[in-house]
Amino acid sequence: MSEPTTFNLPTRLRRLRQHPAARDLICETHVSVNDLIYPIFIVAGSDIKQEIRSMPGQYQWSIDRLPELLDTVISAGISSVLLFGLPDVKDAQGSSSWHDAGVVQQACRVIRQHAPELFCIVDVCFCEYTTHGHCGVITKNARGQLGVDNDTTLTNLGKQALSLAHAGADMLAPSGMMDGMVAAIRQVLDANDFSMLPIMSYAVKFASNLYGPFRDAADGAPQFGDRRGYQMNPANGNLAMREAELDIQEGADILMVKPAGYYLDVVSRVKNKWPAVPLAAYQVSGEYAMLKLAIKHDFADAESLMLESLIAIKRAGADCIISYFAVEAARLLQKR
């Protein structure tokens, strides 16, 4: 028999992987319930809790049943929510988005009354409110081509933002990728005594195929064309940095990269460039749906897969994560 070979290795990295406590001691990245933001879809009508076909476990909620969900969110330890609205009336401009009796405005007031401890973030855009499903006012350019009128849309964003501020929103999250949207909203807020209301800008929002389930959930699919004329080309990382820089200059308090999982390189680049600027990442509907499908077919352990996806986003540099897994993940984290 030959003698076993002994290697004189000065460092063995596996030494600190042998015991669970040792692994915890040197863990570099931690996901906390305080990092998580839970998206909510508010629909016009009453007594509605409608499961979203393409997003198992996620629902559309009417105003009267919203307190049920708020109690669930709070019991899980979640402190922040992000609201999206599905109105009963749509038009070409999305004017119901700035009505005082709008569906999201009503939801803000319910939160202020039923769960004032929750931090209420509201999406500011028009795709859910317009008959055409685009994120602003549609006009024809000099060549007769249809497209979103950037500057007219900025005016309407100001109206929407001010209405939501009066309704009690704690933070506004413009998502339409209009040039100058942060500056336009900031100017309106400051001129109307809302200078302390923060803005979380969808600074880097890619024209992704991962938004399909969301469009089902929010009834906001474009009725013609697509959104590549204002959302970003997935191939462009350098341009993402320009978008982020402009939003910082315009007064954004928090930047966002969307989607998260396919764009962790962009999350990392933005955070490394501006480490002092808070950064959010949105684990979008398509990411959620794909992971749910893997779990359904037993391709992976549900808890481990969910947490690994969130850890990866946090490790890349996100300070907070918008995720449909937020409530499930928060419950799991509370047990650990």
Residue 213 near residue 186, CB atoms below 8 Å: no
**CATH number, residue 67:** 3.20.20.70
Domain span at residue 280 reads: 30-335
Number of C-beta neighbours around residue 302 at 10 A: 16
Residues tagged active-site: 205, 258
Residue 184, in any domain of the structure: yes
Record the pTM: 0.94
Residue 10, in any domain of the structure: no
Residue 4, in any domain of the structure: no
Residue 6, in any domain of the structure: no
CA angle 18, 19, 25 (to 5 degrees): 115
Predicted local confidence at residue 15, as pLDDT: 86
Q: Which strand (E) or helix (H) includes residue 39?
A: strand 36-43
Predicted local confidence at residue 143, as pLDDT: 77
pLDDT digits (tens, 9 = 90+) for 93-102: 999 999 999 9
Bridge-partner residues for 54, per DSSP? Answer: none
Residue 80 near residue 35, CB atoms below 8 Å: no
Q: For the chain, how many structural domains are there in total?
A: 1
Residue 24, in any domain of the structure: no
Residue 60, in any domain of the structure: yes
Residue 325, in any domain of the structure: yes
Which residues of the chain are modeled with pLDDT < 70? 1-5
Residue 1, in any domain of the structure: no
Predicted local confidence at residue 259, as pLDDT: 98
